[in-house]
Amino acid sequence: MQQLVDEINERARAKFGTGRVADYIPALAEQNANKFGIAVCTNDGQVYAAGDARDAFSVQSIAKVFLLTLSLRVYQDTLWERVGLNPSGMPFNSLTQLEAERGKPRNPFINAGAIVVADRLVSAFATPSKHIRDVARRLSGNESILIDARVLESEWQHRSRNAAMAYLMKAFGNIDNDVDQVLHSYFSCCSLAMSCVDLAIALNYLAADGHAQAMGEQFIAADLARRINSIMFTCGMYDAAGDFAYRVGLPAKSGVGGGIIAIVPGKMTVCAWSPALDENGNSVAAQYALELLANEMGCEFG
Ligand code: DON
C-alpha cells in the first residue's frame, strides 16, 4: 500500500497547472496550487501517507460530514423534516431551488443544507463550533487541530450568498436561531484546518461501521454510518456525483480547500488533497488520485 500511495503521489502531481484555486473566499486564493497529499487509513489502524499528506488545509465542505453526523446523533430521522436527501443538480451555492421548495434544501451537503444542519446544532449545543473542533480532535487523535481564524474572517466578510440562503430559509421557518450565529458556526466548521492524515483517521468511523479507532469507541451506530455513506455517494461531489461514481465508485465528500475524503466501507478511508479545482469545485488532482487508486485496487475495494 505504501508503494501504491507513493506512486499515486508522483502521478497526481502531473495534474499541477490544471484547474483553479478557489478565490471566492479570498483567504483560500492564497493557497499554493502545487501541493498534493494522500493518506490511507485502514480499519485496523495502519496509516499510509505520501506527498503533503501532513500539511493542514482548509477542510471547507468536508466539515459538512461532521455537521451531519453530529446532528443525526441528536435528532435522528427528525432531521429530515428540515432537509432533503436527494441530489440538487445545481451548484453547491445555488439559491434557485430554495424559493420554489419553500426553504427546504435538497440535501445536507449543499451550502443551504449544511446551514440548516448548523442551525440544528446551534439549538443543541452552547458552542457548536468548539464542539465540532473537539470532536475532530478526538476522532483524529490530534489535539492541535484549530479553526483557522483568517479563513473564518474571510468567509464572514464574503458571506452575502450564504446569508441570503439563510435569511430565505429563516423566512420559511426552517432556521430557528439567529442567522448570524448560525452562519458563524457554519463558517467556523468549514474553517477547520486538518491534514489528509487527520481526515483519513477522523472519518474512518464511516468505513468501520461507526467505530472510531482513535477514540476506541463506537461513535455512531453501524446503520447510521451506512446511511451517511449513501448520502455521500449520491450528493458528496455536487453536480459531478454521477461522474465520480462512475470513475471511482466510492462514497466521497469534497471541499473547496481541495480535499476529498473517500470511504471504502469495511476496509479503509482515503483522503487526497490538492488546491486547484475544476468547474464543479472538486480538486482536479485529488479526483485523479482517487481514480488511480480505484483502478489499481479494483475488486479489492468490494
Ligand atoms: O460556504 C462555502 O461556500 C464554503 N465554506 C464551503 C464550500 C465548499 O467547500 C463547497 N465544496 N466543494
Atom of ligand 1 at shortest range from CA of 93: 3
Q: Is the pLDDT of residue 238 over 90?
A: no
Atom of ligand 1 at shortest range from CA of 24: 3
Binding site membership of 52 for ligand 1 (Cβ less than 6 Å): no
Atom 11 of ligand 1 has which residue's CA nearest to it? 255
In a domain, 302, yes or no: no
In which band, very low, low, confident or very high, does the pLDDT at 228 lie, cut at 50, 70 and 90?
very high
pLDDT at residue 45, as a whole number = 96
In a domain, 186, yes or no: yes
pLDDT at residue 108, as a whole number = 98
Atom of ligand 1 at shortest range from CA of 92: 10
Is 10 labeled as ligand-binding? no
Binding site membership of 113 for ligand 1 (Cβ less than 6 Å): no
pLDDT at residue 301, as a whole number = 65
Per-residue pLDDT, averaged over 263-277, amounts to: 97
Per-residue pLDDT, averaged over 99-117, amounts to: 97
Binding site membership of 283 for ligand 1 (Cβ less than 6 Å): no
CA gap 122, 103 in Å, rounded? 18
Known catalytic residues are 61, 64, 186, 238, 256
Name the residue of 24, 62, 190 whose CB sits within 8 Å of the most ligand 1 atoms, as the mutation to test its pocket. Answer: 190
In a domain, 52, yes or no: yes
CA gap 4, 40 in Å, rounded? 10
Q: Is the pLDDT of residue 302 over 60?
A: no
CATH number at residue 98: 3.40.710.10
Q: Is the pLDDT of residue 297 over 90?
A: no
Average pLDDT of the chain is: 96
Per-residue pLDDT, averaged over 74-87, amounts to: 97
Q: Ligand 1 center to residue 82 CA distance, Å?
A: 20
- Which grid cell is 103? 426553504
H-only helix segments in the chain: 2-12, 26-29, 63-75, 96-100, 111-124, 128-140, 149-157, 160-171, 179-190, 196-202, 222-235, 241-247, 284-297
Q: Is the pLDDT of residue 300 over 70?
A: no
Q: Is the pLDDT of residue 250 over 90?
A: yes
CA gap 302, 300 in Å, rounded? 5
Q: Ligand 1 center to residue 255 CA distance, Å?
A: 6
Q: What's phi and psi for 188, nearest 5 deg?
A: -60, -45
- With a pLDDT cut of 70, the percent of the chain lying above it is 99
Binding site membership of 224 for ligand 1 (Cβ less than 6 Å): no
Atom 7 of ligand 1 has which residue's CA nearest to it? 61
Give pTM, 2 decimals: 0.97
Is 177 labeled as ligand-binding? no
Q: Which domain holds residue 21?
A: 2-297
Atom 8 of ligand 1 has which residue's CA nearest to it? 61
Is 288 labeled as ligand-binding? no
- Which grid cell is 98? 430554495
Q: Is the pLDDT of residue 230 over 90?
A: yes
pLDDT at residue 124, as a whole number = 97
Q: Is the pLDDT of residue 77 over 90?
A: yes
In a domain, 242, yes or no: yes
- pLDDT tens-digit map of 115-169: 999 999 999 999 999 999 999 999 999 999 999 999 999 999 999 999 999 999 9
ipTM: 0.96
Q: Is the pLDDT of residue 222 over 90?
A: yes
Binding site membership of 191 for ligand 1 (Cβ less than 6 Å): no
In which band, very low, low, confident or very high, does the pLDDT at 245 lie, cut at 50, 70 and 90?
very high
What is the tally of structural domains in the chain?
1
- Which grid cell is 102? 419553500
In a domain, 31, yes or no: yes
The length of the chain, given as a count of residues: 302
